[in-house]
């Protein structure tokens, strides 16, 4: 398929499947349909062009796009993608196409797509839902996992913090606690904060800032420039 015939959703799905994840290896599988939906949802929030095309609605697992499902199915039928258990990865033919798309993508697209895959792809399903429901609570209104997420918010928050996925203040938001109370919980459980501080050096703070701004409609399209965030103290 010539890349100039790809629509917006097809293009971003190929970029996502090709992008490196937390291992820095390109074209690693997306873990499953829930991860695919949530990663594409987060990309849609960070990219106005994609948000217009995906038509996400809240369903029993939170944010869901029928269009994303249909495009993924078509990639599988066309043998651009392979399924291994629940996970999805590019076939050899799909990798060739996706690499061509990746090389023509601009630097911000590459950074955002790789950042989202790195952030979400190695979360457990409950961590994934907890993170997305915290950032975009409107997506949880019809979720049949909402009660489970609410009951386990503290555990989810501690796990995300220990993995170096979120800084202390964001983990406290996931737990629905003040930073001071959450810090006390960590100390009670003997969590080694110095080890986590080392992991937090690797946090993609630019991505987290863009996620934060994506929730403010008035700031859509006015995201903080990457250089400004990277060079800030």
Tallying the residues shown for the chain, one arrives at: 233
Q: pLDDT digit string (tens) for 113-165? A: 999 999 999 999 999 999 999 999 999 999 999 999 999 999 999 999 999 99
The whole-angstrom separation of Cα 20 and Cα 18 is: 7
Q: Where are the chain's structural domains?
A: 1-122, 124-221
pLDDT tens for residues 36-71?
999 999 999 999 889 999 999 999 989 999 999 999
pLDDT digits (tens, 9 = 90+) for 75-127: 999 999 999 999 999 999 999 999 999 999 999 999 999 999 999 999 999 99
| Paired strand residues for 64 | 57
- The reported pTM is 0.90
What are the counts of helices (DSSP H) followed by strands (DSSP E) for the chain? 14, 4
Residue 6: other Cβ atoms inside 10 A: 17
CATH number of 1-122: 1.10.10
């Amino acid at each position: 398929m010539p890349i100039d015939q790809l629509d917006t959703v097809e293009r971003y799905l190929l970029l996502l499947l090709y992008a490196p994840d937390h291992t820095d290896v390109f074209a690693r599988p997306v873990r499953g349909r829930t991860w695919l939906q949530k990663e594409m949802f987060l990309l849609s929030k960070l990219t106005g062009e994609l948000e217009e095309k995906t038509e996400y609605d809240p369903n029993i697992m939170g944010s869901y796009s029928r269009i994303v499902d249909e495009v993924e199915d078509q990639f599988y039928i066309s043998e651009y993608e392979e399924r291994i258990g629940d996970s999805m990865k590019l076939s050899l033919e799909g990798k060739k196409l996706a690499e061509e798309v990746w090389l023509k993508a601009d630097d911000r697209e590459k950074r955002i797509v790789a950042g989202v895959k790195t952030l979400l792809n190695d979360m457990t399903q409950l961590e994934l839902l907890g993170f997305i429901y915290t950032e975009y609570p409107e997506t949880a209104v019809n979720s049949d996992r909402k009660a489970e997420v609410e009951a386990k918010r503290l555990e989810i928050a501690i796990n995300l913090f220990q993995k170096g996925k979120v800084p202390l203040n964001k983990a406290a938001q996931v737990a629905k606690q003040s930073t001071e109370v959450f810090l006390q919980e960590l100390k009670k459980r003997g969590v080694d904060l110095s080890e986590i501080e080392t992991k937090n050096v690797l946090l993609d703070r630019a991505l987290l800032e863009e996620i934060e701004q994506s929730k403010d409609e008035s700031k859509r399209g006015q995201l903080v420039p990457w250089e400004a965030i990277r060079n800030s103290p």
